[in-house]
Chains A and B, each alone.
Chain A
């Protein structure tokens, strides 16, 4: 019986993590995006988005429209960029996009890879921004950038697990 009790206790703890993880992956599959929720890191889309805003993405639109705000990744660069579609050219098979941040003076041409003049909708986009929540994401920025906040929060989590049954 002791083994069963141990397994039960292990499962209760493991269930928290496994269900959260599966829920996240399900959201990714439903939206067809490997990162369906992102936090705004830069100010290049101000005043629309501020650092710390949370964006909800959807990646099942076959084509984007001018004016859509998209999140894209450039090969070789790890940080995703959230900017607005300035121009688009498409035929029945593919779509090319040129983007620009609202708060930037020029378009994103200099941000793309060498020899890349446009974004390819199918290859480069992580998703389109459909909705957003202001401010809340600032906590995640605090956690990753502010040491005191990070350890303070870790300490709280550790304390609470001690007091939980």
Chain B
């Protein structure tokens, strides 16, 4: 959309990474991939579930005495723990994953991004194609695709990524 007009705070490495992550959807579109929200939706669903369980428990707590609500409370705590545990596991297995997508041929791409610390303005990115058969792990300095005012240069970023993809495998894009 009109995200080209958004300025990013050049002094915050966190903001820079966040802004770049937000662009991944449109960037990968140029390479022929549609974003899949399955993982995100499952995680959101689990998160909402924990809040709903806690909310219902709160209502029960208000209406009934401790002894009356004992069993329901135990069940709720177990369910809450289960959903939380699942969520934690999902996050652990998909560490730093910011984007998943599929192209028309059904090929899956998973992108994980991170920054080493709060101070180094380097964007680390790991792109995995088709269930770990091919992986591109690289990093770019933010200065390469953010201009001095703070605008994200999508074309430049696509160019940088594209170079890396070509290096790995010229055929399978």
A11-B61 Cα distance, complex, nearest whole Å: 22
- Tell yes or no: B40 within 8 A of A by CB: yes
Tell whether, in the assembled complex, residue B54 and residue A18 are in contact, meaning their CB atoms are under 8 Å apart.
yes
Tell whether, in the assembled complex, residue A15 and residue B50 are in contact, meaning their CB atoms are under 8 Å apart.
yes
Contact of A29 among B48, B51, B55, B77 (CB under 8 A): B77
Question: Shortest distance in angstroms between B17's beta carbon and chain A's nearest beta carbon?
Answer: 13
Tell whether, in the assembled complex, residue B70 and residue A14 are in contact, meaning their CB atoms are under 8 Å apart.
no
Closest to B74 in A: A29
- Tell yes or no: B66 within 8 A of A by CB: yes
Tell whether, in the assembled complex, residue A25 and residue B44 are in contact, meaning their CB atoms are under 8 Å apart.
no
Question: Shortest distance in angstroms between B112's beta carbon and chain A's nearest beta carbon?
Answer: 18
Tell whether, in the assembled complex, residue B77 and residue A25 are in contact, meaning their CB atoms are under 8 Å apart.
yes
Q: Are A34 and B66 CB-contacts (below 8 A) given A7-B44, A21-B58, A29-B77?
A: yes
Question: Shortest distance in angstroms between A37's beta carbon and chain B's nearest beta carbon?
Answer: 14
- Tell yes or no: A26 within 8 A of B by CB: yes
- Tell yes or no: B37 within 8 A of A by CB: yes
Tell whether, in the assembled complex, residue A21 and residue B40 are in contact, meaning their CB atoms are under 8 Å apart.
no
Tell whether, in the assembled complex, residue A15 and residue B47 are in contact, meaning their CB atoms are under 8 Å apart.
yes
- Tell yes or no: A162 within 8 A of B by CB: no
Q: Given the complex, which residues of B lie within 8 Å of A33, measured CB to CB?
A: 66
Q: Are A22 and B66 CB-contacts (below 8 A) given A4-B37, A29-B74, A29-B77?
A: no
Question: Shortest distance in angstroms between A44's beta carbon and chain B's nearest beta carbon?
Answer: 25
Q: Is the interface of A mostly helix, strand, loop or mixed?
A: helix
Tell whether, in the assembled complex, residue B40 and residue A11 are in contact, meaning their CB atoms are under 8 Å apart.
no
Near A by CB (< 8 A), chain B positions 37-83 give 37, 40-41, 44, 47-48, 50-51, 53-55, 57-58, 61, 65-66, 70, 73-74, 76-77, 80
Give B residues with C-beta under 8 Å from A.
25, 37, 40-41, 44, 47-48, 50-51, 53-55, 57-58, 61, 65-66, 70, 73-74, 76-77, 80
The 9 closest A-B pairs by CB, nearest first: A18-B54, A34-B66, A11-B47, A14-B51, A18-B51, A22-B80, A26-B77, A22-B54, A7-B44
17 additional A-B pairs beyond A4-B44, A17-B54, A18-B51, beta carbons within 8 Å, are A1-B25, A4-B37, A7-B44, A11-B47, A11-B48, A11-B51, A14-B51, A15-B47, A15-B51, A19-B54, A21-B54, A21-B57, A22-B54, A22-B57, A22-B76, A22-B77, A28-B73
Q: List 7 A-B contacts (CB under 8 A).
A: A4-B44, A7-B44, A21-B58, A22-B53, A22-B76, A25-B73, A25-B76
